[in-house]
């Protein structure tokens, strides 16, 4: 009796691994419907007066170029004002901004904070308060100092505000570093899958998870409705703003054709700090909106079953993967034949879902995926790809291939290899963590990339999310770690 109870428990744990697989595939299934279910029928040429707020701390290397690009937008200059909120920079940021203010009189303004270091949200609120003091502004664009908007991007975003039901619009943040390495290429692939692909699906579902922090456009009415300020209690102020907008009954629209180029971290340690900040912010969001999840409402779609499953399958992905591996390992000891069948179901499903997501997602930004095709294929990691092949063709991988090298796997050896395969996913997160440590050594230049290629970029993201669990449990202070930017952004 106890044996079968153990089998059932392990089976449930193992099959939990299907949840994120099904959620990802189901999300991408609705993407083609975006051609019919989208917001373009209500969009129209619309050019409101836009105030652009740029939070800046020690952005001297990038802020000048960003302002110059903004002034070249395909948008009426008389309807554009740029407010750079200098968060007590210690470099030449204020000097650069004052120079641009003289160059573009009436369009560029410097707002200096003498006491800084409180985080991005406080900096934004300083600027928002000043902008709301008069009635000139009709729409507010929040951006980062280092990003570059393509000329038609703002015009493409503002057209959605012609619909009074829309409260906010977000653009497509593309990885745009001029000096790309293996990591920025992986980030580029990730952004393709998570933005023009996944956010198109969210447009169809009617619920957006997050406005891009560096490209969010609000109507004046929406900004006032959510309190006239950005939340300062979390590291996920952009997500909270997105949720609050929708909870008030306003739509949040993703505009995939408004492209914004951004410089992304090219080192594992820098990426880890950036994504850890995001992950810890999502913990706050998940807890804050506990009464929203899985409670459908006529006013918004955040409480929809589909959106909730997508949110939690991503947020709990590392935990799900660990539990699934524990379940598989338990089945191997209790009912090895059942374990084999479940393993094949899990990994064949994962392989098919990955191919589907890969093919469909790549079509949403063919230019980016064309230049990173190798990293598209290696996104899951070399070892994960081998595990997928093992699930598809076990005799080939466990009998025929070893036989080529004169090796015959006996019972104990086959059991050990099978167990290693079953628990690989949690171990891959450890390998990704080791890549961060290896990066700081003399051999880091080649060892860190090798470990990421083996473990997979997805495992790196899971490792960072798992680290956020540990930081939250330990009660570690959540700090705003600024991502270092040096102005390596392409112009198109």
Structure tokens at 471: 């930081």
Domain hosting residue 187, numbered range: 42-267
Q: Contact at 8 Å (CB) between 289 and 239?
A: no
Q: Is residue 352 within 8 Å of 58, Cβ to Cβ? A: no
The pLDDT of residue 404: 66
Whether 209 shows a pLDDT value over 60: the answer reads: yes
Residue 48: which CATH number?
3.90.550.10
Residue 290 lies inside a defined structural domain of this protein: no
pLDDT at 92: 87
Asked if residue 308 is part of any domain, the answer here is no
d(CA 464, CA 270): 12
> 180 and 57 share a domain?
yes
pLDDT of residue 88: 79
Secondary structure E strands in 15-165: 50-56, 80-87, 108-113, 139-143, 148-149
Percent of the chain exceeding pLDDT 70 equals 94
Residue written as token pair 């609000």: 218
Contacts of 414 (CB under 8 A, 6+ apart): 398
Residue 396 pLDDT level (bands cut at 50, 70, 90):
confident
pLDDT tens across 77-98, in order? 999 999 999 887 888 888 889 9
The residue among 426, 143, 436 whose CA lies nearest residue 275 is 436
Say whether 481 sits in a helix, a strand or coil. Answer: coil
At 423 the pLDDT is: 92
| Of the listed ranges 186-190, 279-283, 363-367, 468-472, the one predicted with least confidence | 363-367
Statement to judge: residues 255 and 324 lie in one domain: no
| Averaged pLDDT score across all residues of the chain | 88
State residue 452's pLDDT score: 97
Task: Please state the rounded mean pLDDT for residues 446-474.
Answer: 95
Residue 323 falls within a domain, yes or no? Answer: yes
φ and ψ at residue 251, rounded to 5 degrees: -85, 145
Helix, strand, coil fractions of the chain, as percent rounded to 5 = 60, 10, 30
Pick from 242, 259, 82: nearest CA to 155: 259
E strands, 361-416, in order: none
Please tell me the pTM assigned to this model: 0.90
pLDDT at 447 over 90: yes
Number of domains in the chain: 2
For CA atoms 112, 116, 119, 125, give the dihedral sign.
negative
Co-location of 171 and 46 in the same domain? yes
List the helix and strand counts (H, then E) for the chain.
Answer: 23, 8
On whether both 328 and 237 belong to a single domain, the answer is no
Tell me, yes or no, whether 215 and 328 share the same domain: no
> Do residues 79 and 48 touch, judged by C-beta distance below 8 A?
yes
Mean pLDDT of 231-235: 83
The answer to whether residues 444 and 345 belong to one domain is yes
Q: Is the pLDDT of residue 292 over 90?
A: yes
Q: Is 483 a member of any domain?
A: no
pLDDT value at 481 more than 70: no
Share of the chain above pLDDT 90, in %: 56
Whether 183 is in a domain gets the answer yes
Query: Parallel, antiparallel, or unpaired: how do β-strands 251-262 and 166-175 relate?
Result: parallel
Tokens read off for 244: 């609050």
Residue 479 has pLDDT above 70, yes or no: no
> Which of these ranges, 180-194, 334-348, 407-421, has the smallest mean pLDDT?
407-421
C-alpha to C-alpha distance for 161 and 306, rounded to whole angstroms:
27
Distance CA 272, CA 416 (A): 32
Look at residue 429 and tell me whether its pLDDT is greater than 90. Answer: yes
Residue 392 has pLDDT above 90, yes or no: no
Predicted pLDDT of residue 179: 77
Look up residue 151 and give its two tokens. Answer: 């000329």
Q: Is 146 helix (H, G, I), strand (E, B) or coil?
A: coil
For residues 325 and 200, membership in a common domain is answered with no
Q: Do 46 and 13 share a structural domain?
A: no
Domain final position from 267, 297, 325: 267
| Residue 258, both tokens | 């408004």
Co-location of 252 and 384 in the same domain: no
User: Does 443 lie in the same domain as 406?
Assistant: yes
Tell me how far apart the 2 most distant CA atoms of the chain are, in Å: 82
Q: What are phi and psi of 141, to 5 degrees?
A: -105, 125
In this prediction, residue 358 carries a pLDDT of: 82
Q: What is the pLDDT of residue 489?
A: 56
What integer pLDDT is reported at residue 411 of this predicted model?
74
Are residues 7 and 63 located together in one domain of the fold?
Answer: no
Q: Is the pLDDT of residue 225 over 80?
A: yes
Question: What is the helix (H) or strand (E) element at residue 89, kind and residue range?
Answer: none
Is 319 within a domain? yes
H/E stretch holding 266: none
- Is there a domain that residue 251 lies in? yes
Whether the CB-CB separation of 428 and 318 falls below 8 Å is answered with no
Token representation of residue 387: 């595990």
12 and 157, same domain (yes or no): no
60: DSSP letter: T
Residues linked to residue 112 through DSSP beta bridges, in sequence order: 86
376/369 Cα distance (integer angstroms): 7
**C-alpha Rg value of the chain to the nearest Å:** 24
Q: Is residue 29 part of a domain?
A: no
């Amino acid at each position: 009796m106890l044996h079968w109870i153990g089998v059932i428990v392990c089976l449930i744990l193992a099959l939990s691994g299907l949840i994120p697989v099904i959620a990802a595939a189901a999300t991408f299934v609705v993407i083609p419907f975006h051609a019919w279910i989208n917001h373009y029928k209500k969009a129209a040429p619309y050019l409101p007066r836009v105030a652009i707020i740029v939070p800046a701390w020690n952005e001297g290397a990038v802020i000048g170029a960003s302002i110059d690009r903004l002034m070249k937008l395909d948008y009426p200059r008389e309807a554009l004002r740029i407010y750079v909120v200098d968060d007590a920079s210690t470099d030449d940021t204020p000097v650069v901004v004052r120079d641009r203010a003289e160059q573009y009189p009436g369009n560029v303004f410097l707002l200096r904070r003498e006491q800084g270091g409180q985080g991005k949200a406080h900096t934004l609120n300083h600027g928002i308060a000043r902008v709301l003091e008069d009635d000139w502004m009709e729409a507010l664009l929040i951006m980062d100092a280092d990003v570059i908007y393509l000329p038609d991007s703002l015009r493409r975003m503002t057209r959605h505000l012609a619909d009074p039901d829309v409260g906010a619009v977000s653009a497509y943040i593309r990885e745009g570093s001029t000096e790309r390495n293996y990591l920025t290429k992986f980030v580029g692939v990730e952004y393709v899958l998570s933005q023009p692909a996944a956010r198109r699906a969210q447009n169809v579902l009617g619920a957006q998870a997050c406005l891009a922090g560096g490209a969010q456009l609000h109507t004046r009415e929406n900004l006032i409705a959510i309190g006239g300020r950005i939340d300062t209690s979390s590291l996920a102020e952009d997500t909270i703003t997105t949720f609050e907008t929708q909870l008030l009954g306003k739509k949040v629209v993703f505009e995939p054709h408004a492209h914004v180029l951004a410089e992304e971290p090219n080192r594992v340690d820098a990426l880890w700090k950036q994504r850890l900040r995001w992950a810890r912010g999502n913990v706050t969001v998940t807890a804050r909106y506990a009464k929203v999840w899985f409670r459908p409402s006529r006013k918004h779609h955040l409480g929809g079953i589909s959106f909730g499953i997508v949110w939690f399958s991503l947020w709990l992905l590392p935990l799900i993967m660990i539990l699934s591996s524990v379940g598989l390992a338990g089945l191997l000891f209790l009912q090895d034949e059942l374990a084999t069948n479940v393993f094949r179901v899990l990994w064949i499903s994962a392989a098919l879902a990955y191919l589907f997501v890969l093919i469909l997602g790549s079509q949403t930004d063919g230019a980016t995926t064309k230049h990173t095709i190798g990293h598209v294929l290696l996104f899951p990691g070399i070892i994960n790809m081998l595990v997928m092949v093992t699930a598809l063709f076990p005799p080939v991988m466990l009998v025929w291939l070893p036989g080529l090298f004169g090796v015959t796997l006996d019972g104990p050896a086959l059991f050990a290899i099978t167990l290693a395969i079953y628990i690989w996913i949690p171990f891959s997160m450890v390998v990704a963590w080791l890549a961060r440590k290896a990066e700081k050594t003399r051999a880091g230049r080649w060892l860190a990339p090798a470990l990421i290629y083996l473990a997979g970029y997805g495992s790196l993201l899971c490792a960072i999310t798992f680290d956020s669990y540990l930081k939250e449990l330990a009660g570690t202070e959540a700090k705003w770690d600024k991502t270092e930017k040096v102005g390596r952004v392409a112009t198109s």
